[in-house]
Each structure stands twice: as structure tokens, then as C-alpha cells.
Structure 1
Amino acid sequence: MRNIVASSDFKSFDYEAPLSRSKNVGYYHIRNLYQNAKIEAEANGNDVQARVYGLLCSICSFHFKPGDGGEPYGPMMTFDDGRRTLVPSDFRGDQAIVLGEIALMTKNPALRARLADIAWLCRRSDAAAKAAAISGLNESVALVLDGEALFEKEERHHISTGINYLQRALSIGRTRGTDVGIYNETKIILQRMRNLGFDTKVHAIFVRAAKLDLEYGISDVSIVARQATEFAEQDEKRGDQDGARRNWLLAADAYELARNVAERSACLVNAAECHVREAIAMAGSAMNATGSIIRAIEQYREVPKIHRPQGRLEELQADLVKRQRDLHDEMGVYEYYEDITEQFNAIVEAYSGKPIADCLVGLACIFDPAGMDEYKNQVRENVREFSFMALIDKTVHDEEGKIISHIPALDPGKEISDDDVRVRCGQMMSFEHVTGVKCAINPALHVIMSEHNLDDNLFHILSQASDFVPRGHEGAFALGLSRFFAGSILEACCILVPQLENSLRHVLKQTGIDVTKITNSLTQEDVMLSVLLERFREPLDKIFGSAVMFQIEMIFHSRHGFNVRNSLSHGTTRDREFWSASHIFGCWIIYRMMMAPLVHQWDKVASVIAKEGYS
């Protein structure tokens, strides 16, 4: 429970003295002044001043989020153990009443606005605090525009900080019961800010102010559209394609509000052509140029077909294919070296001299694959270690340069979702597969094949005994597993991978689940793998384990993973890819699933194997 800093504490001295010599209305600067004043007061033994300055320092330290109407202020810092710095809700009650009172007697407009805003957030009935918050923000921005105050620094682009202040003022003013005169003043200042950005040709000011103008319906949309169009044309003359694109999109937004489809479409076409010009300028980098062409195509698809330049979209699509052929030369190989001799020798020693029955069941249970939770933890760790990289959109290309997957940037304000993990775990899963294959699966297979004579008949016995294998498919499983153990992974994949979908259906049928669908022609068909992984995921997770099913999804089905099944069925898998760690790992996963029903009755199966002469 925080101790209340009373109104009498504020009134006992000039609490604005640290700001008296400063013309700055930026909260970072105000916070530093109060932080220094607090330290000095503590050194002088003045507890009351230290408490007041400490409170004001904390209030000016909030993480300002003007675009968030619900929680415009967050903690400056959150710790791993859940602790955090102060937020407005921590001041509810008597302290909020004090802040509202003190705000009305505060001269510095930025400090007045912050005190009043916190008071109003805690007590929405405090109309005086609400008005003081808006007027304080308005005054702060007006002083800077008039050259009588600063936002942190003197550089021109720091004036854009005022847009944050105005955005918060507009957000407050949009609520019921706002003083119309004060709210109109906010709108007038925002128009000044927009015109300043246009006149000085500063994108950070104009685009943000204009977007707020459109959002709150402040000016005639035709004015914003005209300025954005003129600004975009000047950008194009200067060769600033990014600036031009932003302004064309802004003009498109304005025309959309005006319901002028033709002009909006023309602006979107111009924005798309900015991407094309960027691609031309990036001729030395096929990867960057390809990305720009893709964005141009995406932009063109927003344009109604009737308003597109005839044949332009098709022309860009053909250009994209042509550029993608050059991508292969830019792609490098990431290599990581680690000495796995110790792990390899440990597996060899563990399997050497063991009966074949022990080796077979041991290989199936040699390790547990990682699941969603493990990969999610790894994504969190990567975000903490490489936080900047998590904020950048990425694309994944195949060897021909085609984009096969998009990895969107993470929102640092949101919890990592399962979908965030799915689009990111391909590389992490590759490392697991390489480690599992080289440190466990391959050395185990090496010992087994060196010390035991295995043939198709042995695997036919296992397939017949396993509930994972549908009747009539024992031969295919036996041949595929025999090739897997022999190291003929190309043949093993071609035989085993097509069997997976049917085996999953077979297992579900045994549990009484209907895995068929009725088509439009009133005939019945078995559902595909994609449907099995989506609609029947819960029973499959219970049967095989969620980790195994996540591996199945990422290895065989997902475009964000390895898409082995689709690549195999469409003939796009190259010969050498069959010996990749993920293909070998995929064959092992199928072997593990085939063996899963046998583990609890392994003594019986082992005796059958022994009777057949395998030892």
C-alpha cells in the first residue's frame, strides 16, 4: 500500500521550482529534472520534498501510449518476476483526488496535463481534471509551434512529439461531456500541425497529423487528399519512393472516406508503382527487388479490376518469376559446428551387443521430440536475446527463389501465440532434427545394421502386430521401414509418407470417430491430412501425444515447416533433400508411431521375433 502524498505536502513548497528555468514540455526532460531534485532533497534530509518529487518523477515516467484509449499509460519497466513500475490505476482513491486538485494549480502545461489525466483516468466523474488534461496538452503543443517551448530537443522532427499529445487530447475529448470549446481548440492545433508538416515537407509530422485528421473527421477530406497528392508528387520528383508511397496511401484513405472509388484506385496504383521503382533501384539485390515487386502486386490487388491498368498485374507477376530465378545466387548457407563424438559413442555403446528386440523398441523410444510448449519457450528466449530481430517481417524462399512463407513481426505488447510459434519454429526444428539424427538415430541404426540381419519379413511381423497399420498395408510399411533401416531414405520416404494420412484415419476409426465427409454430389470421401490435423487434433493428441502430432504437422504438412508430404506428392523434392535431417526424422516419427501400440505388449512381440529366428 502506497503512502499518500497529501495536498498539504505539495502546498508546503514550490513543487514546480525544478521546472522554473526550463522551457521544455517533454516528459522525459521533466522526469529527469524531478529525479535530480529528488536526489538533492534526499541528500538534504528534506523528506516531504523528496516524496513529492519522487511522485512527480514516477508520473512523468509512464510509458505513453496515446493510441490506446483504454490504457494510454503503461509501466516504464516490467521485471521477470512480474513486478513493474507504477501505472495510473495505482493512484486510485485519495491520491487521485489530490492529483486532480494539484493539477488545477499547476503552471507547467505538460505537468498539469499529466496530473489531470491521471486524476481523470482514476475518477471519470472529475470533469475539471478532464478539461485541464485536454487544455494542458493543447497549450504544450501550441507553445512549441509558437517557438516558446521545446519537446526534448530543438530538432524540427521532434515537433512530431506534439502529435502524441494531440492524439491523447482527441481521445479524451471524444468521450461524453467534453467542453466543446477546448475540444475544438485541439482540432485547430492539429490542423496547424498538419499544415506545418506539409509546408516543411516532413513526413513524420504531416502523415501522422493527416491520419488523425481523417480519423477524427476534423477537416474536409478533399483538403487532406490534395495535400497528400501534392506531397507525393514532390516525393517522386526527389526520388523518395517510400515517402511517396505513404502519401499516396494517405490520399487513398481520404478518397475512400469521400467514397470516390476512381481517385482512390488511382492513388493505390501510384503507391504500387512506387514499389516497382524501388525494385528497379534495387537491381543489385534480387532478394530485395523481389520483395518490392511482391508488395507492388499485393497493392495492385486492392485496386478494383475495372480501375487497374490493363495487363499491368500480369506483367508484374511475370517479372516476379523472372527475378526469382536470380535469388539462388544470393542465398548463403548457415553452418554450425559442434563436436558430437561423445553423444555418438554413447549411443553406439548403449546399442552394441543388445538383442534385436531391445534395439527395435529402443530406437522407437530413443528420445521424445519437442512440442509446441518447448518451441514457444525457445521463441520467448530468442525474443529476449534478439529483441530487434523479432520486430522485423521476414520471408522464406525456396531454392528457386519463390517465397513459400511469411514470418510477420511480433507485437511486443502481446503474448506469443501458437501461430507465432508455427511460423517461426522451422529453423529451431531443423536444429532439433539434425541433433536427433546425428546424435541418436543414425548411430543407433549404424549399430543395428552392423550387428543384426534385418529383412522385410521382420518389419512385416511388426506391421501386422501394430494397430497403426491398416490391414492390407503391411507390405508397404514393411518395405518402407526396411529401406529406412538400410539407409535408403529416398525409397523409404516415397513409401512411408503416403501411408501416414491413411494410418491416422485408421487409428481414429478404431476409436469410433467418423473420418468421412459428404460431398456436394452426396457421395462420401475420406477427409484429408489437413482436416485430420485441424478437426481431429484433440483425439490424435491424446493417442500419440501433442508433441508427436506437432512434429507431424510441421514436417509433413505446414508450409511454415518442411511440407514433406506435399513436396513429395507434387514431385518437387530433389534427390539430395531426401537425406536431409528432417526427412530422416520424419521416417523415424512414422516408425515411432507404428511401434507405439506395440510397446505395452513388447514381451509378446519380442517372443514372436525370436521364434522367427531374429536375435
Structure 2
Amino acid sequence: MSSDRYPADLEISAQDFAECGWKGVLSGTIREGYSSMWQAFSAAAREAMEEGRQSHGKVLWLLADACSMTLLPKSINEPFKPIMVIEGKRSAIPDDLPDPEIVFFSQIVDGIDDPWLKARLADLVWLKQQPRDVNFALIAVDNYRAIPLDTETWVRGGDKCWQRAISLSLMLKVGAGERLQEMESSIVAVLSGATAQDGFLCHWLADLLYENSLGWANQVEIAQKLEALAREFDEQGDVHRAREYYDSASRWYKKASDEAKTAEMTVAVAESWVKEAVVRVSSDNPSHMVAASFYENAIQVYRTIPRSERAVYRVDDRLEELRQHLNESGDKSLDEMKVIKSPSMDISELVDNARKAVRGKDAVEALKVFANLHGGVNVEKVRESAIEKIRKHPMQAMFPATVMSRDGRVIAKRPGMSLGDTLNEDDEIVIRAEMIRDYGILVSIVVQGDIWPALEVLLLEHRLTEADFVHIARQSPIVPKGREQLFGKALFAGYDQDFVTMLHLLVPQIEHMVRYHLKQVGVKTTTLSTDGIENENGLSTLMELPEANRVFGEDLAFEIKALFCDAFGPNLRNELAHGLLDTGDCYSVYSIYAWWFALKLV
């Protein structure tokens, strides 16, 4: 990495660091976290090399490399990743730094008075130097926590710095002294003094405490602060912020074992969706289609309220009212739909359109567009198409067929179709098999023509983190409480193109999500054996329950079955559960589509 920037054998010293002008570089830079420092040091390094100041140039390049790395604050073994990976090439990682350069960092750390730079270099020395010196970890902690706790700094990387300080302190345990308690006190103090003008800061700090099991002694105080800000945002008409604060307050009240307040906050979250639906249909650009999705979110949130608390808030009556609103908006949304005709196109046009759809947008808008590149299936139309195809070309359907696994096992059988005027049970199996076959073709086209090309653009233009996807999962009514981290990790793994990790995390969460929402409407999801042992039913059994279509809708229920638990399809749940998927299978179009499908759900 160094050979094209400075001679590989060029030696540098602490004196070179002192004279390279690093302070001037930072003072002349608009500070926006480590990325701005990386760019500033890189520019200064090029200038130094052009001027023949090779030693200074190498020092500045090393500082640029150190600042370029993306911090994954909770990782013990790999807390730094490259900021860019393009066409087989990547930016710097810690393993690119040879031992002499780590020694160099250890020699200059004490002379640095910028907390961002000092923390980063000390952290790299702690990570790479052998044997490890705990003093460098403590220097990193002290400088990470010296970074201000304010909204502007937080969104520019301060959040990761504070999380890293906490993670290191938790790792060091007693070796960190009182640092963890001091950080806890600092965070609680800033949280308590936060105002509505600080935006999401109080919410973010509460999450930081919660996710690290801190602040438990202040549970009620934190919950009340979050509730107060939620109500203030609500009065201002800022529904989005109010909802997030109500949701966070609900978590803290639940932690404090205050079931009544937890339910009250959950009701407020649900009603925020209702308010948003009302605003959407009464705006200058009304959309009953969007309003219907908001009503559906409200219904899903109300369903999470325990039955012991439902009477106080007339939850069952309110659910009935919201279902009526949902049906009304659904009916009116049909009038908003228009028939769009376009000439036939090959997949190259699909690819180009997908890339254009997400290119040049901010991260939030790009992700929304990405999640809606494909509208999903209309199971009624898929069924009609399958029946029409069978009737036009009956020969293949007339004869029974057997589906075999890759190791030769028979995993499904399809009977022959009667082709009579009245469809019988065997005919329905044939139709279902044909529907799933057509669905598989559609999935392949969508992945290759829409999802993958658009994902490549997203990865080039936006650096989203695991925390971003956990946040998205936390705001989704369909994600069960307590599963936000796992859903978020799965979604991030897919975004990071680690589909092995994604699939192993996602599939169990999809099954739990189905079970959770069925239980919420009173469906029995277990089977009692003759021995008196009650076992949870698997996804295949759950999706065969008649209530599954009612809870998830026919279209969504069909996709869940076709993707995860039908032997005529990829059968991802059962293949994964039995250890039958290899690495290549985890990168199949079905796996990639399953990730995108989950993102769209959330």
C-alpha cells in the first residue's frame, strides 16, 4: 500500500511528526469526524510529497490511513474496517500497518492534544502491539470520552467514539478503574439536561445506556425525561420524533417494571401512526395507500399491548375502529392506482433503471426507494397465471412429478392434474407447485435486474452501519420487541454482502416474527404431545394455519411460505435448520431476495 506513495524503506521519527504540520492541517479543516481528518491528512500528504518532504509526507499518509478506518466500536477483535472496498481493492485496515509504524504511533501519542487523533492512534496501538500495554487502551478511553456529547458531534462519529470507550472499559473490567461509572454519570447528566432543540440526542443517549446495561439506577428518571420530550414533540406536531421518544420511554418504563406506563407509551406510539395517517390523507398530496400502511402499523403496535392492560385503553374496540379505517383507506387507494404501460425491455434496461432509481439520493430516501424497487407478488394474479398456463399446456401437469434434493432424497411429490371443471385437492397441489416455480423465476429476475444493481450503487454512495439497521428495525411494528438487535444485525450483514451471516441470523427471526404475531391474535402455536410435552410448531406448520393469511395477508403469507418453508421452493428455513446449505447456497438469488424481502418488511 505504501510503495506508490513513499519509499517502503523510508524511516521516520517523532521529530518528523512534530515538524510535519499536523496541527495546522487539523486547525484548517472543518471537522466532521474521522472522514474529514482522513481527507485533510491525505491532501497534506500529497502536497508534502510534491514538495519533496518525504518524511513529512509519510507521517501524514500514516495519519490519513489511521483516520480512514471505519470504527466498529463493539467488535473485540476487528474494531476497524476499510472505509471503501471497490473492485477488489480497499482502503487501509490495521493489518496494513507493520510493526515499526505501530511503534511510531506509540512514540507520538503522548504529544497529541487532539482527542480524536489521540484516541484513534492509541486504540490502534492497543489493538496491534504485542505484548499489549493496557495504558494505550486507557488513553483511548479517556480521549474518546473527551469528545463532546452534543447532537452535531454525535452524528459525525461521536456516537461510535463513546460506544468504543464503553466497550473498551467493559473489556478491561477492573483495569478501567472508575471510568465506566464516570461515563455513565456523564451520559445521564447530558441526557437529563437535553431539550427539544437537541433533537434526537436524548433518545440516542438513552439507547447508548440501555444497550450497554447502564443507567439502571436512573430508570424512572430516564423514562420520564423521554416521555416529557415525546409529549413536547407531539404538541409541536413532530410526529416522527414523538413516536421514537414514546417508544424509547416504553422500553425504559418496562425495564422499571411499570406495566401501566409501558402500555400508556405503547398506545402513544400506535396513535402517532394514526395521526400520521390522518395527516397524509388531508395533505396537499393525499395518499390513501400510504395512510393504509400507517393504519396497519398502528394495529400491529396495539397488538403488542398485554391483555391485562387492554381494557384501560379500550384496545380491542380501538383495533376494530382502526381495521375499519384500514379497509376504507384500502378501498380508496384503488382509485389512486393507474395502469402504466411500457414497451417490453430486456434485463439490461431493468439494471439501468434500478441504478438510476437509487443514485444521487440521500441515504434515507435511497434506502426507501431500494426497499420498494419491487412491489411484491399478487398471489391472486400468480394463481390465475399458473392455472392459465396449465390449461394452455396441460401435458406436463397431467403426470405426477417428484421433487428431489441435491443428495437424491425425495422431498416433495406433485400429483397429476385432473383438468376437470372443478378443482380437487390434488389439483390445488399442482397449482401451488406451478405458482412457486413461477415465483422462483420472478425472484431471479428481480435480484439480477433490480436488487443487486441498486445495492451496488447504495454501497458506493452510502456508508450505513449496523446501528442504522438496528434503528430501522426498532421503528418497525412488525419486528417483535427484543429482537431489534438480531433483525438489525441480519439486515446489516446483507447490506455488507455477508449473506452467510445474514441468512443464519434472519431465518430464525422470520420464524419468531410469524409465531409472535400469531400469538398476538390468540392463535395457539404449540402442539401437546401424548407425553404431555408442549412443543412449539415450526414455520411450515404455522404458515398452514388459516389465521396466517388473516394476520399477514395472502400476498405476504404466500411469499413467506414460498421462500422459507415449501419443498417446491428454496425452502430456506428447513434447508438451513438441517445444515443443508453450503456457502454458495447462502449467496443464491433466493438468499439475496430473502434479505431484501426482510428489509422491505421492516
Does structure 2 retain, via aligned residues, the 8 Å contact 1:157–1:205? no
* TM-score normalised over the length of structure 1: 0.57
Stretches of structure 2 lacking an aligned partner (at least 5 in a row) = 3-7, 403-414, 435-526, 531-540, 545-560
Determine what percentage of the aligned residue pairs are the same residue.
20
Q: Which of 346, 358, 364 lines up with 1:386 in the alignment? A: 358
Partner of residue 235, structure 1: 233
Partner of residue 321, structure 1: 327
**Counterparts of 2:345 and 2:268, CA distance in 1:** 55
Partner of residue 171, structure 2: 175
Partner of residue 604, structure 1: none
Amino acid of the structure 2 residue aligned with 1:175: M
Taking a change above 3 Å as real, the CA distance of residues 230 and 131 of structure 1, as seen in their structure-2 partners, is same
* Residue 97 (1) aligns with residue 103 (2): yes
Q: What does the per-residue CA deviation read over 1:193-220, in whole Å, with 9 as the maximum and x for residues that have no partner?
A: 4245x22532331110121123331361
Partner of residue 302, structure 1: 304
Taking a change above 3 Å as real, the CA distance of residues 501 and 134 of structure 1, as seen in their structure-2 partners, is same
Taking a change above 3 Å as real, the CA distance of residues 36 and 314 of structure 1, as seen in their structure-2 partners, is same
Partner of residue 137, structure 1: 144
Partner of residue 274, structure 2: 276
Deviation, 1:532, is 3.9
Q: What does the per-residue CA deviation read over 1:435-490, in whole Å, with 9 as the maximum and x for residues that have no partner?
A: x9xxxx99xx8xx9xxxxxxx9xx6xx989x5649xxx87x65x57xxxxxxxxxx
Partner of residue 579, structure 1: none
Amino acid of the structure 1 residue aligned with 2:203: V
Does structure 2 retain, via aligned residues, the 8 Å contact 1:66–1:165? yes
Partner of residue 490, structure 2: none
**Counterparts of 1:68 and 1:159, CA distance in 2:** 19
Does structure 1 retain, via aligned residues, the 8 Å contact 2:26–2:37? no
Q: Which of 115, 120, 125 lines up with 2:132 in the alignment? A: 125
Amino acid of the structure 1 residue aligned with 2:239: Q
**Counterparts of 1:321 and 1:136, CA distance in 2:** 56
**Counterparts of 1:229 and 1:503, CA distance in 2:** 51
Please tell me whether Structure 1 or Structure 2 has the larger radius of gyration of its CA atoms: 1
**Counterparts of 1:315 and 1:339, CA distance in 2:** 44
Taking a change above 3 Å as real, the CA distance of residues 467 and 266 of structure 1, as seen in their structure-2 partners, is closer
Instruction: Judge which range, 187-196 or 259-268, deviates more.
Output: 187-196
Q: What does the per-residue CA deviation read over 1:384-428, in whole Å, with 9 as the maximum and x for residues that have no partner?
A: 973669977999xxxxxxxxxxx9959xxxxxxxxxx9x98759x
* Residue 210 (1) aligns with residue 206 (2): yes
Amino acid of the structure 2 residue aligned with 1:191: V
Stretches of structure 1 lacking an aligned partner (at least 5 in a row) = 146-155, 341-373, 396-406, 411-420, 449-455, 481-490, 505-517, 522-526, 561-615
Deviation, 1:244, is 1.1
**Counterparts of 2:370 and 2:268, CA distance in 1:** 25
Deviation, 1:493, is 8.9
Secondary structure of the equivalent of 2:298?
helix
Deviation, 1:250, is 1.0
Taking a change above 3 Å as real, the CA distance of residues 380 and 303 of structure 1, as seen in their structure-2 partners, is farther
Amino acid of the structure 2 residue aligned with 1:386: V
Does structure 1 retain, via aligned residues, the 8 Å contact 2:29–2:37? no
Does structure 1 retain, via aligned residues, the 8 Å contact 2:144–2:162? yes
The within-5 A match list for 1:145-544 is 157-158=152-153, 160-161=155-156, 162-177=158-173, 178-196=175-193, 198-216=194-212, 217-218=214-215, 220-283=218-281, 284-308=286-310, 309-310=313-314, 311-338=317-344, 382=354, 386=358, 409=371, 426=377, 468=401, 497-498=427-428, 500=430, 532-533=567-568, 534=571
Q: What does the per-residue CA deviation read over 1:238-279, in whole Å, with 9 as the maximum and x for residues that have no partner?
A: 111111111111111111221222211111111111111111
**Counterparts of 2:345 and 2:352, CA distance in 1:** 27
**Counterparts of 2:345 and 2:172, CA distance in 1:** 68
Deviation, 1:5, is 7.2
Secondary structure of the equivalent of 1:282?
helix
Deviation, 1:495, is 11
Taking a change above 3 Å as real, the CA distance of residues 173 and 336 of structure 1, as seen in their structure-2 partners, is same
**Counterparts of 2:113 and 2:363, CA distance in 1:** 42
**Counterparts of 1:11 and 1:181, CA distance in 2:** 36
Deviation, 1:37, is 1.5
Q: What does the per-residue CA deviation read over 1:305-354, in whole Å, with 9 as the maximum and x for residues that have no partner?
A: 121222222222232122211111112333220389xxxxxxxxxxxxxx
Deviation, 1:379, is 9.0
Amino acid of the structure 2 residue aligned with 1:48: S
**Counterparts of 1:288 and 1:280, CA distance in 2:** 10
Taking a change above 3 Å as real, the CA distance of residues 55 and 257 of structure 1, as seen in their structure-2 partners, is same
Q: Which of 102, 108, 113 lines up with 2:114 in the alignment? A: 108
**Counterparts of 1:312 and 1:379, CA distance in 2:** 45
* Residue 18 (1) aligns with residue 24 (2): yes
Taking a change above 3 Å as real, the CA distance of residues 120 and 280 of structure 1, as seen in their structure-2 partners, is same
Deviation, 1:232, is 1.0
Deviation, 1:7, is 5.7
**Counterparts of 2:424 and 2:51, CA distance in 1:** 81
Taking a change above 3 Å as real, the CA distance of residues 385 and 95 of structure 1, as seen in their structure-2 partners, is farther
Does structure 2 retain, via aligned residues, the 8 Å contact 1:278–1:292? yes
Taking a change above 3 Å as real, the CA distance of residues 59 and 536 of structure 1, as seen in their structure-2 partners, is closer
Deviation, 1:158, is 4.5
Does structure 2 retain, via aligned residues, the 8 Å contact 1:104–1:132? no
